[in-house]
Amino acid sequence: MSINAKACSCFASAVMVMSAFAGNEANPDALELAPLPMPVEFKSDMDRPVPFDSSATVTVQCPDKDAAGWLSRHFAEWYGKDAPKVAAGGADAISASLPEGDEAYAVSADASGVKIAARSLKGVRWAAYSLRQLAVAKRGTFKLEGRILPTLSISDKPHLAFRAVHLCWLPEVRPQQMERAIRLAALLKFNYAIIEPWGMYASEKHPWWHWPNPTMTKDLIHRLVALGRDLGITLIPQINAYGHASASRSCTIKHVALDFSPEHEPLFEPGGWNWCLSNPEAQRVLRELIAEIHEDFGNPPYFHLGCDEAQPPTCPECRKAPYGELVCKHISGLAEFVKSRGARAMMWHDMLLERGDPRWEGFVHCGSKTTATLADTLPKDVIICDWQYSYKDMKEVRKEWPTMGYFKEKGFDVACCPWRNFDTMKPMADYVAKIGGFGFIETTWNRLRGKDWASMYRYACSAAWGTPVRGRSATPVTDSEFANAFRAVGHDMKTTDYIDAGHLNYQLPPSWWIDN
């Protein structure tokens, strides 16, 4: 059956997207799988499968001399004895369809073989991840005897260079879940993961600043950083340097320091939610924590300082000076320290917008008149992470995001940060791309589980890449696409525990089986 280009209506978008699936006259119900995120140009015909096994050779054309080796090594890891062979060069035939940009890639698979063209190892990785998501087992056997691909062609590149997930290493989140979240993010072509420790970082310098038995050990961090580097995703550490000093959800009244190490009370405002910004010891401790964790993360080019949802000061020292000046001095000092380590500071936006300002009605804004002055006084190389969650209307699809435009006009790089407001993700990312913004950060908070995890990753990877998500809500075929990617990561981790299968520990709450 020939490729009968049939554009799918769900791809209608301002972004130039050309996706075509072959029609199937014998079985009109049949569908084609697509990779996540949907490529900018994608044609696929599973009625003409091609071998993707040890009989196949994948030719890769890329100036990076490590590209073929990387591909060969990962094919061996993913496919074992069925791994296709890899040959460098020979993809001239498709290099004309390679878009601009160092992350771009082009792929073709047909009777003549599988070909990849890219300008960098980044592009080769994204090509390999697209192929991995599309490869399925050869049909008709009891055991796997190699894989097949549809006849396909892909021409692809992202519209935002910075595409991140923000992951919370809460005490309740097991390290296996964090590793899976990082690996899956890479497979879906995110290139950064911001990790917030939530009292789980095993600091040697300040062991009072973590809960007992922290799981975010140095050895594990080093392993995940190296893993991320290999997979194409850079891990960025976060230390909450202003509010959220408890490293715990406020509704629980837990405090990582004050509960078990009350001798450190002077470092915090009464109650413990904020660091005490007038105490030079707080600045010293924060710098030491930043240095330690930044080094543990391999000194990445960014560092997140948190700074959201802070409360007004109450201590007598912090009351002595104008609050805007105190906060600015504190954050600027830490941003300068981060810069001295060769990185750029990132911070949440909300304290920089005044609560009573009518311009921000309907948007997240937690600041006062004085903290809002920071939009004029903070160093402009701080990246503002504007989190907008559409709290009152999770289905909203607004196209203009004035808070992001505001920070951009003030001279800051700005990243848009949605959460579970899935319908806003694409217009938000498009808006940031339009204003020349910095990038996209998908925040996951306490929802790194279940359907929310699937939807956050599906919608966010598509928005950040610049292509519409396939299907407004999950359908059997799009569920399969996510499940295939999720399961591939489980195989890479060699998971064998029941609770590590799927995106929930249990299918039914264990409490259901307790007779009470």
Tell me the sheet residues that pair with 347. Answer: 384
One-letter amino acid at 83 equals A
Residue with smaller CB distance to Zn ion, 269 or 430: 269
Residue with smaller CB distance to Zn ion, 88 or 321: 321
Angle between helices 121-134 and 67-79 (to 10 degrees): 20
Q: How far is the CB of 268 from Zn ion (least distance, A)?
A: 8
Q: Going by C-beta distance under 8 Å and a sequence separation of 6 or more, which residues neighbour residue 89? A: 59, 60, 61
Name the residues that contact Zn ion, by CB under 5 A: 276, 278, 315, 318
Q: How far is the CB of 329 from Zn ion (least distance, A)?
A: 13
d(CA 6, CA 20): 5
Residue with smaller CB distance to Zn ion, 310 or 385: 310
State the sign of the Cα–Cα–Cα–Cα dihedral 191, 415, 418, 271.
Answer: positive
Exposure string (b/e) for 213-247, b if CB count within 10 Å is 16 or more?
Answer: ebbbeeebbeebbebbeebbbbbbbbbbbbbbbbb
Residue with smaller CB distance to Zn ion, 278 or 455: 278
Which of 216, 122, 228 has its CA nearest to residue 181?
Answer: 228
Phi and psi angles of residue 217, each rounded to the nearest 5 degrees, phi first? -80, 160
Q: How far is the CB of 303 from Zn ion (least distance, A)?
A: 24
CA distances from 3 to 44, 102, 294 (A): 8, 30, 51
d(CA 115, CA 349): 44
Residue with smaller CB distance to Zn ion, 203 or 274: 274
Residue with smaller CB distance to Zn ion, 161 or 315: 315
Q: What string of DSSP letters covers 288-339?
A: HHHHHHHHHTT--SEEE----S-----STTGGGS-HHHHHHHHHHHHHHHHH
Phi and psi angles of residue 459, each rounded to the nearest 5 degrees, phi first? -70, -40
Q: How far is the CB of 266 from Zn ion (least distance, A)?
A: 9
Q: How far is the CB of 368 from Zn ion (least distance, A)?
A: 16
Residue with smaller CB distance to Zn ion, 276 or 374: 276
Q: How far is the CB of 307 from Zn ion (least distance, A)?
A: 16
Q: How far is the CB of 275 from Zn ion (least distance, A)?
A: 8
Q: How far is the CB of 319 from Zn ion (least distance, A)?
A: 8
DSSP for residue 41: E
Q: How far is the CB of 278 from Zn ion (least distance, A)?
A: 5
CB neighbours (10 Å) of residue 27?
8
Residue with smaller CB distance to Zn ion, 182 or 318: 318
Q: Vertex 302, ends 301 and 306: CA angle to 5°? A: 165
Q: Are 100 and 157 in contact (CB under 8 A)?
A: yes
Residue with smaller CB distance to Zn ion, 59 or 278: 278
Burial (0-12, 13-18, 19+ Cβ within 10 Å), 320:
exposed
